[in-house]
Amino acid sequence: MDISQIQLRQDEQIARLEKKFDLLLKELGVEKEIRAKTEYEVILELVPADKKIAVLKAVRLLTDMGLKEAKDLVESTPAVIKRKVSGYEAEKIATKLRNAGATVSIH
């Protein structure tokens, strides 16, 4: 068996697995995304009263907002902190906000 035959066999196996996966997703009622997500939103979900000042400082550092803007955002949860950021950047932002005491989600 030469390399081209091995490659052909692997391609066929991959195609069968993809077909099975698609059928499983369909049975579960889940739609398969055509392409991987590359941009995310970081959402501030909840800020405990005793952590408000720490979260406010973190929001100001992460967004370059003024005090009034950041205060309004922190008090109006859930609120989007950052849009269209990479997965890595979203995780960094979320970690800083969580360390300040906030509940954060990434979408």
Q: Where are the alpha helices (DSSP H) in 1-107?
A: 3-28, 52-63, 67-75, 87-100
**Chain centroid offset of residue 104 CA:** 10
List the domain range (segments joined by +) for residue 6.
1-32
Q: Note whether 49 and 22 are same-domain residues.
A: no
Average pLDDT, the chain: 87
State the average pLDDT over residues 2-6: 74
- Per the structure, the count of domains in the chain is 2
Q: Note whether 2 and 46 are same-domain residues.
A: no
Q: Note whether 76 and 99 are same-domain residues.
A: yes
- Report the Cα–Cα distance between both ends of the chain, in Å, rounded: 47
pLDDT digits (tens, 9 = 90+) for 78-90: 999 999 888 889 9
Q: Note whether 50 and 82 are same-domain residues.
A: yes
- What pTM was estimated for this model as a whole? 0.65
Q: Note whether 64 and 93 are same-domain residues.
A: yes
Q: How many residues does the chain have?
A: 107
Q: Note whether 95 and 66 are same-domain residues.
A: yes
Q: Note whether 22 and 46 are same-domain residues.
A: no
Q: Note whether 13 and 53 are same-domain residues.
A: no
Band (70; pLDDT cuts 50, 70, 90): very high
CATH number for the domain that contains residue 53: 3.30.1390.10
CA dist 27 → 17, 22, 23, 24, 32 (Å): 15, 9, 6, 5, 12
State the average pLDDT over residues 44-62: 95
Strands, sheet with 79-85, edge to edge from the N-terminal-most edge strand:
79-85, 40-46, 103-106
Q: Note whether 13 and 52 are same-domain residues.
A: no
Q: Note whether 97 and 60 are same-domain residues.
A: yes
